Each structure stands twice: as structure tokens, then as C-alpha cells.
Amino acid sequence: MSDQHTHQSFETRAIHAGNTADPLTGAVVPPIYQVSTYKQDGVGGLRGGYEYSRSANPTRTALEENLAALEGGRRGLAFASGLAAEDCLLRTLLVPGDHVVIPNDAYGGTFRLFAKVVERWGVDFSVADTSDVESVRGAINDRTKLIWVETPSNPLLGITDIEAVAGVARQAGVKLVVDNTFASPYLQQPLALGADVVVHSLTKYMGGHSDVVGGALVTADAELGEELAYHQNAMGAVAGPFDSWIVLRGIKTLAVRMDRHSENAGKIVEMLTQHPKVTQVLYPGLPEHPGHEVAAKQMRSFGGMVSFRVEGGEAAAVEVCNRAKLFTLGESLGGVESLIEHPGRMTHASVAGSALEVPADLVRLSVGIENVDDLLADLREALG
């Protein structure tokens, strides 16, 4: 993060960091540099360091500077997807024979990457309840290089004490990676709590409009940032200029959107906790949630993701998803529109039969920013 933005508030950084007016025209929005290569002023005479857009592109640079500023990091890197970012991180930091601790409640795509891709490369992993510091400590062995955390987790909304796990990681001499997708940097700042790397699916709250796919890594360690940037260029799964521009545009309203997502989710949770067909509501804003106190300590508010379990098992949960009308049945999350899904059959089908398998009666909501009364009415009708 540049010194210029160090003392600015989050909302100001979201709008201005990386968004320098175009020096040629004065355009207040960074241009979309839809270009593959750049004219050189003599061999090796690069203008602004740009030679080929896989290596660097001015629109992507603007986004990467913005990401670093929002997370309080030294280096931000933008990728073609969240999983591309994760893949780059793992191949930068790990070699065959290494070991990783992953959460027992993780995004299905992350688990698939470890179980079906990285493990074949010779990297082992163990599953731990990352909400329990001693469980994390007990999963570490002499080959461990990374501890991987999602908080809030997907889809069970588990909470991990980032600062406490960062202490365990430092003591063991390993790096802590935090997937901050559910919270966004507006609600949570993992680097300030001791994390080494933050991962984002930019597709979700950062883009915020279900119209772009992207991923990001942010680190406060300049040397690690250089290593990641080297591998980003060597592997090539970079964010394109138009996608970078779309995410930059979305980020400008991140703060106001997250406030509304959280406000709407709180009212929906209140209704669900009183509904006779709902057997459990999973939301860190609830006082009875086991991670409530930690979430209140490390988050600005509790976010727009809500999961709940219903009477009648899997068939009833699927039927709730099918009956919803205003809540769109679909995968992904974090858009301005509300989404509903059945994790066991959709986003988390890849973890079936594993230690990460999710309850069959679980429904996950991504609560949008529509009028909350309309959302409540739709859920009541869907629940029957």
C-alpha cells in the first residue's frame, strides 16, 4: 500500500487507491488497456515497465494497487479466478513432500484443488477444525509449510480466531493463509491480525454484481510478493484488463454494499430463528453461535452469508431451494441479487464422502441488497 493511502479511511481507499486520473486525457476512471504488447523506445526501453500484458497491464496494475491498499498489504496480485490465485500460491510456496493444514469446512473447489490436483503432485494435507486452536496445533507436523483458513467458512459459517492461529503458525515456523472472500476487506483485515497471505475470489463481494470471474492474493511481505509475482507471470493465469476494470468498478461501492448485505442478513436470520420448519441457523451474528465473540472482535459486522437447516432432510432442503422465486437458485455468492443453493448437491458436491461433507438438510443464502421485506416474504413462501 502506498504512503498516500495509509491514513485514509477504507471507503476513501476503495474509491481512490490505484484509480489515478489518466495523464493523457484526465479521465477520472482508469482506461481499459485492451492490449497485448507495448512499443519499446529502443531495445529494453520500456514505458512504465510494460512490455507484455501477461507480465503487467496498466488496468490490472490499478486493481492490484487497490487490492493491496484495501487489505493493508505491500503487494496485491489479480488472477483469472480465485482458484487460479490459490494454485499460484500453492505452487510458489510448496514442493513435493510438503504438508498443509486445511479446514474441515472449506469451499468445495479449494478441497478439490488439494485432494485431486495438489496431492497428486506430492503435497499432503490434514484436516483440522480451525475454530479450535489446539486442533490446528495438533495437525501440524515437521513437513507442514502452510495453515489454510476460511473465516467465515463456506458453507457452515464457522469462525476462526485469526490472531490466535497466526500465533500458532509463527511458533511452528509456517505461513498462515486466510481466505477472506466471505468477509471482504471491508469487514475483516487478516494481515493486520497476523496472516501472511490473503486470498480472494474477486467474483464474489469484490466484484459484487455477478458479472466477472477473478481472484487475488495480497501479502504484507514484499519479498513474498515478488515471489508470487514471478510465479504469476511464469504460470500466466492473470486477470484480463476488462475483468480488472469491472472489479475496480465494483470495489468502489463495496463498503455501502456490505453494510446493506449485513443489515438484510440480520433481519433474515431473525425470521429464520423463529420459523417452525428451520431446525438450526448458522450465522456468526447470533449470540449462540460458537464463534460469535471472535467474529465480533475481528469483523466490522457479520456479513451477508446465511446457512440454515430444515425439517424433513435433504428432500425438504432441495424443495425450499426450488420454491424460492426472488432468491435465485444458483451457485456463487456476493452479488447485489440474492441467491439460494443446496451446498450438498451444488457448490460442495466435491466434498461428498470426505471429512468436509456438509449436512444434506443445509440451505445456503447469499443475501443481496434488495428490499428486505420482499426477501422475507419470498423465504416464508419457500419454507411453506
Q: Give one DSSP letter per residue of 314-349, joined into a string.
A: HHHHHHHHHH-SSSEE-S---SSS-EEE-TTTTTTG
Helix 372-383 to helix 254-274 angle (10° resolution) is 40
Give yes or no: 378 in active site.
no
CA dihedral of 70, 73, 77, 83, whole degrees rounded to 10 = -80
Catalytic pick among 179, 243, 361, 378? 179
Cis amide linkage into residue 287, ω under 30° from 0: no
Give yes or no: 260 in active site.
no
Which position has the grid cell 491480525? 193
Catalytic pick among 33, 38, 50, 107? 107
Q: What is the C-alpha to C-alpha distance for residues 174 and 326, in angstroms, rounded to an integer?
A: 45
Across the strands, what pairs with 177?
148, 197
Give yes or no: 143 in active site.
no
**Going by DSSP bridges, is the β-strand pair 305-310/362-366 parallel, antiparallel, or unpaired?**
antiparallel
Q: Other C-beta atoms within 10 Å of 42: how many?
A: 6
Q: What is the C-alpha to C-alpha distance for residues 180 and 303, in angstroms, rounded to an integer?
A: 12
Give yes or no: 54 in active site.
yes
In 3-state terms, what secondary structure has residue 382?
A: helix
The C-alpha R_g of the chain, in whole angstroms, comes to 21
Type of residue at 383? L
Catalytic pick among 74, 145, 204, 257? 204
Q: List all residues 6 or more positions away from 278 whose beta carbon is below 8 Å from its beta carbon.
A: 272, 308, 309, 310, 311, 383
**Going by DSSP bridges, is the β-strand pair 124-128/144-150 parallel, antiparallel, or unpaired?**
unpaired
Q: Which of 302, 264, 271 is nearest to 382 (CA)?
A: 271
Q: Which residues are catalytic?
A: 54, 107, 179, 204
